[in-house]
Amino acid sequence: MAPLTEDPNPVHDIDALLINQDPNNKTEENNNHPKDKSAVLLGREENSISKNQNQGGEREMASIHRSGSRPQLDLSKAAIQGNFEEKDPTILLPNQSDDISHLALDIGGSLIKLVYFSRHEGQPIDDKRKKTVKERLGISNGNRRSFPILGGRLHFVKFETTKINECLDFIYSKQLHHGGMDSRHWNAEAPANDSAVIKATGGGAYKFTDLFKERLGVSLDKEDEMNCLVAGANFLLKAIRHEAFTHMEGQKEFVQIDHNDLFPYLLVNIGSGVSMIKVDGDGKFQRVSGTNVGGGTYWGLGRLLTKCKSFDELLELSQRGDNRTIDMLVGDIYGGMDYSKIGLSASTIASSFGKAISDNKELEDYRPEDISLSLLRMISYNIGQIAYLNALRFGLKRIFFGGFFIRGHAYTMDTISFAVHFWSKGDAQAMFLRHEGFLGALGAFMSYEKHGLDDLMVHQLVERFPMGAPYTGGKIHGPPLGDLNEKASSKISWMEKFVLRGTEITAPVPMAPPPGTTGLGGFEVPSSKGGTLRSDASALNIGVLHLVPTLEVFPLLADPKTYEPNTIDLADHNELEYWFTVLSAHLPDLVDKAVASEGGTDDAKRRGDAFACAFSAHLARFMLFPIEKELSINVTTLAKRTTLTVGFIKFSHFYMNGSDTRLKLIEEPAAYGKLGLANLLELREECLREFQFHDAYRSIKQRENEASLAVLPDLLVELDSMSEETRLLTLIEGVLAANIFDWGSRACVELYHKGTIIEIYRMSRDKMQRPWRVDDFDLFKERMLGSREKKPQPHKRALLFVDNSGADIVLGMLPLARELLRRGTEVVLVANSLPALNDVTAMELPDIVAEAAKHCDILRRAAEAGGLLVDAMINPSDGSKENSSSVPLMVVENGCGSPCIDLRQVSSELAAAAKDADLIILEGMGRALHTNFNAWFKCDALKFCESRLQIFAFDTSYNIKNIGLQLAMVKNQRLAEKLIKGNIYDCVCRYEPANLL
Amino acid sequence: MDVRDAGFQGNLDADQSESQISHLALDIGGSLIKLVYFSRNKDSPIDNNKDSKDSVIEGRLNFSNFETSKINDCLEFILSKKLHLGGFRCHEAPDGDKILIKATGGGAYKFADLIKEKLGVSIEKEEEMDCLVAGANFLLKAVHQEAFTYMDGRKEFVHIDHNDLYPYLLVNIGSGVSMIKVDGDGKFERISGTSVGGGTFWGLGRLLTNCKSFDELLELSHQGNNRVIDMLVGDIYGGLDYSKIGLSSTTIASSFGKAISDNRELEDYKPEDIARSLLRMISNNIGQISYLNALRFGLKRIFFGGFFIRSHAFTMDTISVAVNFWSKGEAKAMFLRHEGFLGALGAFMSYEKCGRDDSMAHQSVQRYPVCKPIVGDKICYPLNGDLNDNGSLECSVYAV
């Protein structure tokens, strides 16, 4: 597709999106905007093209209109996205993605913070399958509100105030300024010719009003700074799980705050200066105190004393400093003795910079590192003390520290925490916010009247860490953003830059380990108090907040508050190390597959390398590499991947060689908030998508599905020849057998082609000798078949959470579904919304079912009833089909794109489908073991809901395909032992009827 | 003031300098050494026979200070004045250790050996807090017009009723800052403090301005304009007051907040402005923390002392403004004329403990208070922020 010119008229696209987002409003909207209707009804590809054609004239006008001749990045970006768009069902109007957005600014004395919302991922609602499912399940979106809630992403970006022009360029290049209060759709009363208004806070909102008007033609609508801070903090504390954490002696601990017990609290915002605000509720607050010794003091004094060129550089310096050379300690005054009578240890600072009074030393004689640290301690400690005194004064239990001074910097947080702890004698705790710097900007954003985020629920927000995230969050606009201002760069060259920058970015991560730590056993948390400084790679990552309004809490969860999806907690360093090894080892192969899935073009290769670099950088945030000597050797031997960065070579090489290199782990997972295995796996998938690899396993999945479907008829014949009881057992064995193999491996693919798949499957099935490690089959059988005299009532509806493509779905789950359908149970196949490895997706399932239905009447009738056989239906919404002789077979998406599932955030479709369900079947390691192994489901007595059937086998697992089998087996053995005291290849068939719970 | 008989009289040798000297006490801090010593008025010979039991010696309490880094100068000074002979004799001690000098401050530990070597006297270490409080209590009770407020350049002496003195907050600003809640004689508790004190001012000031002395730095700050370096509320809000939260446009939003500008290096700022900005930052901070602590314990009065202040008008003004600002006018900062010598004075006071029992000693002090501050021998009493407040106190020592 030819590169598209950026659409100068975003309003048009809002129409299109609104219509797409909300089917219920479609009719009226369409009447008003017939032109858009045609666009919507066209396919996505056609849509883009037609828009392009339609607006050719406007485009030229636009280029004339623009005074600056700077070509826009979005042009080429649109083209690239267009190329890949066909593979991604969720991107509707890629070239316009960022145009439709809300922008809010916090222009402080030192930094400008931007929060903007892009309604990026419009779901194609005209998908017929979905429509049918929605009708059947009675889902209706948007009825709760007078306007539709739009899904999208909340982005966080920052610039230095002195570089405001860069910020303006950024806004301009992303056309964010058109997304303020768009008059036509967000504020019907606004005059049509009124220029856009952008919400802004911070002192600069006054100061730079004219500049914004002149450069962007927008007015700044000034929001009260305190209002914004408080609104931002309240939003974060309520809407984001694990937003707040404590930080003592280098240890982060996330704090879950009960929304009902949030107020009152003290909010300490450390910007250039410091504001202390007592917050009593939404919009109820009072500025009770503050201090002029804040971030501006640190940076200002620091600049004068050290000649650092940036705040971050200064902060970085402090990590290598020793303040004892400059600060006068109690020990210095008392000749090394503690002044214990008043509770001061010899290492307590008696006087900040008190040693600098020495006559013999000038400024040049002190190390900048030491100066920076001394300054940091002085200011942090002072803020902590004043904050505590104010909390005490008003009897506030919690003190939250936010603002840009902190920047996730461990030492700063430690010092503040220490001060609060010290002065309160342990009674009070300092807490920090992950989005610390963006409170004001977020609050300004919240002040848009109809953003639809007011009553946002926690489960509707998903935080993702796109490629820029490790840097944009911690640095003042990272590499991706920095390049936005350069001349017409295509997406690809932008990525090349990213790859280059990757070297610089990963460089600070491997720091020399503190002395005395060796190997894995030597893991220790260095204390950051006193003189010893831990080598901290610094900032927390701030991801992009994805607002997905359709996400809901899975209604059958017994207790959503205590539910923890992750069976494996990566806070366990052994687990972290293991999964890090697995993911690192798998990376090169994943890159190969991903590149192949895009046709192996040069472009794909570049993107593959960029992906590897980005994901490695993410992983690097968790890990620390101590071995620099080996590194230099390995870099040369690995030269074949020449385009890769040093950073990546490091990662791939160690693990590809199966080297016994020891890892030094640091507790950086906290950089991403509380992170479980599910999140880590999803991070990888997101990272792939970020680099336009929408389905790396596409062709593999296709081959596997075809091969399995070819032998399905034989299997069905075999099954039908069995007695009811034998058949049930065979079906369960079949699910286990189909799940146990890693069909992604080459050997298995070969077998598919030779048509011997059914033989392997049968062989494997025969090996499933009972009793399994966990074997509730008899219990399940009794529920299904009953005893001789009493035939049980069939389940009303079963939810089958499916796993892999190929044999797993075709030969394992489909036959089981067929059996349930035959017994009069409605079956809902629950599959991923987005691809994750070789997992089958909700988009792929209808085709698979349709193919299978060609050979099976039961499946065909059920699929027809469930609206899956689109071609066969003359009118999908025709009521007569409802009277079909069969119970329906349906497909719903689960709302995620990860090999695991977090049941707190599932699609509204799935939530609706769950309401009538009385049987849940979870299959596969990702969803039944790595997550949800310990989950409890609610049983509604009235519905006679039986809780769940978990079926899975310990297999070589999707994520260890390319490691030596030895490692995988051993490692999985460990997992097997840990959870069920079992061995590799052990099978688990856990069944928990409702009445047992 | 009670003086031990033998120790005092033994020093009255003919070859002493014009003033008859007795009793030296030291406060050796991180940055400065403070000396308090008593000198007998020439025309006031000891009259042992006036009263059969007690005798009164007219004389002066003298105050001197040296930078700690120049301790040798200090020792020279002591030697030249033979102050070290003004300790008290301890009859039980071996010959060489017979003279003990009271000292407090961290340096009393650190420099004990040096002093022993150079002066041949031993240091008797007194608890620092004890000394501070004893010194302050003495001054507040015994010296007329010791405490004053300072606002907008106006000094106003405060009469303090001795019966309504306690409790009060004593903020001693030395290298660091100690905040002490005083409930009575010898009854006190260190409740808070901050490391941002006089040492910070001088240390940072030295690094930033190349000033050669604390006093030079203070002097500089007098001529400076902190608006060049500090980010004011008005700088952020484009000149508008941010009145909603009660901040005027001239309120400092961020100390040194303007120094982040890319175009200007350290050399581009005037040392005067830097000194001013630094002084305001530190004074303001101390004032704020002090007020918060006073509030916490319901203390009506906050007395600021310690060598940082040095009767420097602007320093006192800033602290007063801070206390006034944060307390919304409810609390007032008060200062002591002998602010820098609290510790040394306290150490000096502790000599009395070596004599008769404490209660008697106290009575004697109170019965013969020093009522009238006079101009010292050489240096004027600075009311206008003069740097040397080396004024002495006329006093009577109650000799036994």
Query: What value does the mean pLDDT take over residues A510-523?
Result: 25
Residues A421 and A463 in one domain: no
Q: Which residue of B has its CA nearest to A423?
A: B192
Chain A closest-CA separation from residue B326 CA (Å): 8
Residues A619, A654: contact at Cβ < 8 Å? no
Interface test with A, best of B126, B188, B200 (most A CBs within 10 A): B200
Tens digits of residue pLDDT in A620-656:
665 543 333 233 323 323 323 322 222 222 333 333 3
| CA distance to A354, A357, B129, B150, per residue, from A332 (Å) | 10, 13, 18, 34
Q: What is the pLDDT of residue B124?
A: 86
Chain B residues near residue A359 by CB distance under 8 angstroms = 69
Tens digits of residue pLDDT in A108-136:
777 788 887 766 444 444 454 555 555 55
Residue A557 lies in a domain: no
Chain A closest-CA separation from residue B400 CA (Å): 34
Asked if A351 has any chain B CB less than 8 Å from its own CB, the reply is yes
The pLDDT confidence band at residue B353, using thresholds 50, 70 and 90, is low
Which position has the token pair 């010893």? A532
Residues A215 and A290 in one domain: no
Type and span of the H or E element at A991: strand A987-992
Which of B109, B203, B269 is facing A355, going by the closest CB pair?
B203
State the pairing for strand pair A429-433/A461-464.
unpaired
Query: What value does the mean pLDDT take over residues B140-144?
Result: 81
The pLDDT confidence band at residue A740, using thresholds 50, 70 and 90, is low
Chain B closest-CA separation from residue A327 CA (Å): 8
ipTM of the complex: 0.77
Distance CA A88, CA A74 (A): 19
- In one-letter notation, the amino acid at residue B83 is L
Residues A123 and A264 in one domain: no
Domain boundary among A381, A402, A433: A433
Residues B83, B35: contact at Cβ < 8 Å? yes
Q: What is the pLDDT of residue A680?
A: 77
A539-548, B73-82, B277-286, B374-383, range with the lowest pLDDT: B374-383
DSSP 8-state secondary structure symbol assigned to residue B31: S
Chain A closest-CA separation from residue B258 CA (Å): 7
Has residue B181 got a pLDDT over 90?
yes
More confident residue, A774 or B280: B280
Residues A619 and A711 in one domain: no
Q: Which residue of B has its CA nearest to A161?
A: B261
Residues of chain B with CATH 3.30.420.40: 2-131+341-383+391-399, 147-229+269-336
Type and span of the H or E element at A352: none
More confident residue, A845 or A957: A845
| Mean model confidence pLDDT for chain B | 74
Which position has the token pair 């420097």? B312
Name residues whose C-beta falls within 8 Å of residue A138's C-beta, 6 or more positions apart in sequence.
Answer: A912
Tens digits of residue pLDDT in B305-343:
877 887 778 788 888 988 888 888 888 899 988 878 888
Residues A923, A803: contact at Cβ < 8 Å? yes
Q: Could you tell me where the beta strands, DSSP code E, fall in A151-310?
A: 152-160, 197-201, 219-222, 244-248, 251-255, 265-270, 274-281, 284-291
Residues A798 and A899 in one domain: yes
Bridge partners, residue A937, by sequence: A557
Q: Which tokens hold the place of B178? A: 């100690």
Q: What is the pLDDT of residue A985?
A: 59
The pLDDT confidence band at residue A980, using thresholds 50, 70 and 90, is low
**Are B253 and A272 within 8 A, CB to CB?**
yes
| CA distance to A169, A192, A216, A813, per residue, from A66 (Å) | 13, 20, 11, 57
Asked if A932 has any chain B CB less than 8 Å from its own CB, the reply is no
More confident residue, A769 or A354: A354
Residue A690 lies in a domain: no
Tens digits of residue pLDDT in B384-400:
222 233 455 655 544 33
Quote the radius of gyration of chain B (alpha carbons, Å): 22
Query: What value does the mean pLDDT take over residues A701-711?
Result: 87
Chain A residues near residue B236 by CB distance under 8 angstroms = 108-109, 202-204, 207, 272
Q: Which tokens hold the place of A146? A: 């007078």
Residue A884 lies in a domain: yes
Distance CA A679, CA A692 (A): 20
Tens digits of residue pLDDT in A175-195:
777 654 443 344 334 444 456
**Are B245 and A226 within 8 A, CB to CB?**
yes
Q: What is the distance in angstroms between the CA of the first residue and the CA of the last residue of chain B?
A: 9
Which of B203, B266, B293 is facing A356, going by the closest CB pair?
B203
Distance CA B63, CA B352 (A): 19
Residues A622 and A498 in one domain: yes
* Angle at A346 (CA atoms; ends A343, A347), nearest 5 degrees: 105
- In one-letter notation, the amino acid at residue A356 is A
Name residues whose C-beta falls within 8 Å of residue A210's C-beta, 6 or more positions apart in sequence.
Answer: none
Query: What CATH number did the domain enclosing A260 receive?
Result: 3.30.420.40
Q: Which residue of A has its CA nearest to B240?
A: A206
Which position has the token pair 């050719």? A56
Chain B residues near residue A392 by CB distance under 8 angstroms = 296
Distance CA A819, CA A794 (A): 11
Residues A428 and A447 in one domain: no
Residues A428 and A452 in one domain: no
**Are A207 and B207 within 8 A, CB to CB?**
no
**Are A296 and B254 within 8 A, CB to CB?**
yes
Query: What value does the mean pLDDT take over residues A364-368?
Result: 91
**Are A293 and B285 within 8 A, CB to CB?**
yes
Chain B residues near residue A106 by CB distance under 8 angstroms = none
**Are B296 and A393 within 8 A, CB to CB?**
yes
Backbone angles phi, psi at B42, to 5 degrees: -60, -40
Residue A331 lies in a domain: no
Long-range Cβ contact pairs of B81-84 (< 8 A, separation 24 or more): B81/B17, B81/B21, B81/B37, B82/B16, B82/B17, B82/B21, B83/B21, B83/B24, B83/B35, B83/B37, B84/B24, B84/B119, B84/B120, B84/B121
Asked if A354 has any chain B CB less than 8 Å from its own CB, the reply is yes
Distance CA B266, CA B293 (A): 36
CB contacts < 8 A, A to B, total 226
Helix B214-223 and helix B271-296, axial crossing angle in degrees, nearest 10? 100
Chain B closest-CA separation from residue A374 CA (Å): 11
Residues A290 and A154 in one domain: no
Window A:282-301, CB contacts with B under 8 Å: 287, 289, 291-297, 299-301
**Are B175 and A333 within 8 A, CB to CB?**
yes
Chain A closest-CA separation from residue B8 CA (Å): 31
Asked if A347 has any chain B CB less than 8 Å from its own CB, the reply is no
Q: What is the pLDDT of residue A833?
A: 86
Distance CA A394, CA A417 (A): 19
Residues A98 and A211 in one domain: yes
Chain B residues near residue A350 by CB distance under 8 angstroms = 30, 106, 175-176, 195, 199
Q: What is the pLDDT of residue B127?
A: 83
Total residue count of chain B as it appears in this document = 400
Asked if CATH classification 3.40.50.1110 holds for the domain at B147-229+269-336, the reply, yes or no, is no
Distance CA B13, CA A993 (A): 106
Which of B208, B260, B292 is facing A305, going by the closest CB pair?
B208
Chain B closest-CA separation from residue A420 CA (Å): 12
Residues A737 and A773 in one domain: yes
Asked if A341 has any chain B CB less than 8 Å from its own CB, the reply is yes
Tens digits of residue pLDDT in A753-763:
565 677 777 77
Which of B109, B207, B262 is facing A363, going by the closest CB pair?
B207
Tens digits of residue pLDDT in B217-255:
988 988 889 888 998 887 776 656 566 656 677 788 889
The pLDDT confidence band at residue B88, using thresholds 50, 70 and 90, is low
Quote the radius of gyration of chain A (alpha carbons, Å): 30
**Are B204 and A301 within 8 A, CB to CB?**
yes
Has residue A592 got a pLDDT over 50?
yes
Distance CA A159, CA A131 (A): 44
Q: Which residue of B has its CA nearest to A314?
A: B260
**Are A203 and B265 within 8 A, CB to CB?**
no
Window A:76-115, CB contacts with B under 8 Å: 108-110
Residue A691 lies in a domain: no
Q: Which residue of B has its CA nearest to A366?
A: B207
The winner for highest mean pLDDT among A92-101, A669-678, A710-719 is A710-719
Distance CA A722, CA A717 (A): 9
Has residue A323 got a pLDDT over 70?
yes
The winner for highest mean pLDDT among A484-488, A640-644, B73-77 is B73-77
Residues A165 and A279 in one domain: no
Bridge partners, residue A990, by sequence: A950
Q: What is the pLDDT of residue A774?
A: 73
Query: What value does the mean pLDDT take over residues A916-921?
Result: 82
For the structural domain made of B2-131+341-383+391-399, what CATH number should be given?
A: 3.30.420.40
Domain boundary among A381, A403, A433: A433
Tens digits of residue pLDDT in B49-66:
444 444 556 677 788 888
Interface test with B, best of A207, A353, A396 (most B CBs within 10 A): A353
Q: Residue A424 belongs to what domain range?
A: 244-326+366-433
Interface test with B, best of A334, A352, A415 (most B CBs within 10 A): A352
| Mean model confidence pLDDT for chain A | 65
Which of B107, B174, B204 is facing A356, going by the closest CB pair?
B204
Q: What is the pLDDT of residue A48?
A: 37
Which position has the token pair 């991180």? B30
Q: What is the pLDDT of residue A621?
A: 62
Residue A562 lies in a domain: no
Which of B190, B229, B231 is facing A272, going by the closest CB pair?
B231
Q: Could you tell me where the beta strands, DSSP code E, fall in A38-110?
A: 101-107
Three-class SS state of A997: coil
Residues A88, A690: contact at Cβ < 8 Å? no
Total tally of structural domains belonging to chain A: 4
